[in-house]
Amino acid sequence: MKPALSSSTLAVERVGKVYPGEVPTRALNGVSFAVAPGEFVAIVGASGSGKTSLLNLLGLLDSATEGTIHLNGVDVTNLTPGEAVRLRRDMLGFIFQFHYLLPEFSALENALMPCRLAGEGQVARQEPGMLALFDRVGLAGKLNKRPHQLSGGEQQRVAILRALANDPLFILADEPTGNLDSANANEIFTLLRNITREMERTVIMVTHDHELAAKADRVITLRDGRIESDRPASALAHCS
**Residue 203 sits in a domain of what CATH number?**
3.40.50.300
Is 32 inside any structural domain?
A: no
**Is 163 domain-assigned?**
yes
Count of domains for the chain? 1
Asked if residue 14 is part of any domain, the answer here is: no
Q: Considering the domain boundaries, does residue 66 fall inside one?
A: no
Tens digit of pLDDT for each residue in 11-66? 999 999 999 888 888 999 999 999 988 899 999 988 888 898 999 999 998 889 99
| Residues 179-227 pLDDT 10s | 667 777 787 888 888 888 888 888 999 988 888 888 889 999 999 999 9
Domain membership of residue 34 (yes or no) is no
Rounded CA separation 108/130 (Å)? 8
- 10-19/218-223 β-pairing: unpaired
* Cα gap 80→8, rounded to integer Å: 22
Please state, in angstroms and rounded to a whole number, the distance separating the CA atoms of residues 2 and 229: 33
Looking at the domain assignment, is residue 7 inside a domain?
no
The Cβ-side half-sphere exposure at 204, using a 13 Å CA radius, reads 28
